[in-house]
Amino acid sequence: MELNRVVVTGMGVISPIGNNLDDYWNSLINGVSGADHITLYDASKFKTKIACEVKGFDVTQFIDRKEARKMDRFVQFGIVASDMAMLDAGLNKDNINPDRVGVIVGSGIGGVQTFQQEVMDFARGDGTPRFTPFFIPKMICDICAGQISIRHNLRGPNFAVMSACATGTTAVMEAYNLLRLNKADIILAGGSESTINEAGMAGFVSMKALSERNDDPKTASRPYDKDRDGFVMGEACGILAMETLKSALARGARIYCEVVGTGATADAYHITAPHPDGLGALNVMKAALEDAEMQPEDIDYINTHGTSTPLGDGAEVKAIIGVFGEHAYKLNISSTKSMTGHSLGAAGAIEAIACIKSVVHDIVPPTINHFTDDPEIDSKLNFTFNKAQKRTVRAALSNTFGFGGHNACVIVKKYVA
């Protein structure tokens, strides 16, 4: 059986540094930080008082107010970003077969805001269970994909994936494989997350996973820096309109790039900590390269998981050197989480979009907030510190790793007819 080639024809983004594709990309290449003091709730009693919030998002510009109240914030993000991706791809009811268009959108945590609100309302009451009938449909991780399909009457494959912080990339991988196997013509794929509330933040604070650099939020997310002290929570949504090449050509669609390989592995090591030698990360990059039938030398840019945690950054660097050898020193490497924070299940999707834009425009976004080299991390590597760099990007690789030891990787390259 001959496998279909898969391309990306549209993208939509909601992020702390821009609520559309152009603003997001311009912020990335200009090194804009989305971090600031938390406004979504009173964080004064928490050790961490900063996050990368989505700013200026008015859902009523896109969704009827009554309908929006039936959706958790992460679902609202997903609806708007999917609208953007479809518009960007030129998709509409007149040029698609809805039975051949799918939606695969995941979330690392789902509707934690809804969960918290309903439980707190119950606790404050007289003990009589008065939960809204929308409690479960607003909260469950798969509802974002479901709501998108309902909105656009898309009747192809429809489900959510959940692999913690690797979720967005895993969704792209699942879409890629279904399209290759001709199970659909078009799939909207990605991840959405909104966990900046008391419950969502408190668990990570208790784990000591978050930065406590409250006096200087803009520089708090500092991957690979000696003084990094944890990640900055973010919220976001990224949606890719992925399509078989045959479908895209038949529509006369504009093609951003080709998706050529994916990989998925497990650390099988610890529920939250990465393998100290980056074994799972090493294996997932090898798997993606093998799937793409590419050599390490074919990659020009790696968008790393790079969360700004003491253990994670070093382990990933070891894995990159293990896979790429001497070519590792010819790569551009960067962590865009230095600007967006870590948006958990959405991270892989918005970072895949960063890779695609790098391939299209031959610019690598920077890792901002680098002040001091970490002696435990090879400083000869090009981490694209503090300033974007222009270079030919033939192919880019995006890494995402999640609690539980889940690793996912995707490779995109310039489209050649």
Q: Tell me the residue type at 176.
A: Y
Helical H segments across 4-51, by residue range: 21-29
Task: Tell me the C-alpha distance between 353 and 260, whole Å.
Answer: 15
Helix, strand or coil, per DSSP, at residue 243: strand
Distance CA 297, CA 324 (A): 7
Eight-state DSSP code of residue 342: B
Give the whole-angstrom CA distance, residue 106 versus residue 125: 33
| Catalytic choice (152, 237, 257, 305) | 305
Place of tokens 């991957």: 223
**Among 327, 293, 307, CA closest to 413:** 293
Two tokens at 44? 């004064």
Known catalytic residue at 342: yes
Catalytic residue, from 141, 152, 237, 342: name it: 342
Contact indicator for 77, 236 with CB cutoff of 8 Å: yes
Q: What does the block give as tokens for 352?
A: 């895949």
Backbone phi, psi, residue 387, to 5° = -150, 135
Catalytic residue among 165, 237, 257, 409: 165
The backbone region for 32, taken as left when phi is positive above 0, alpha when psi lies in -120 to 50, beta otherwise, is beta
Tokens matching residue 217 = 């939020």
Could you confirm whether 152 is annotated as catalytic?
no
CA 74 to chain centre: 13
Q: In this structure, what token pair is assigned to residue 11? A: 């993208």
Catalytic residues: 165, 305, 342
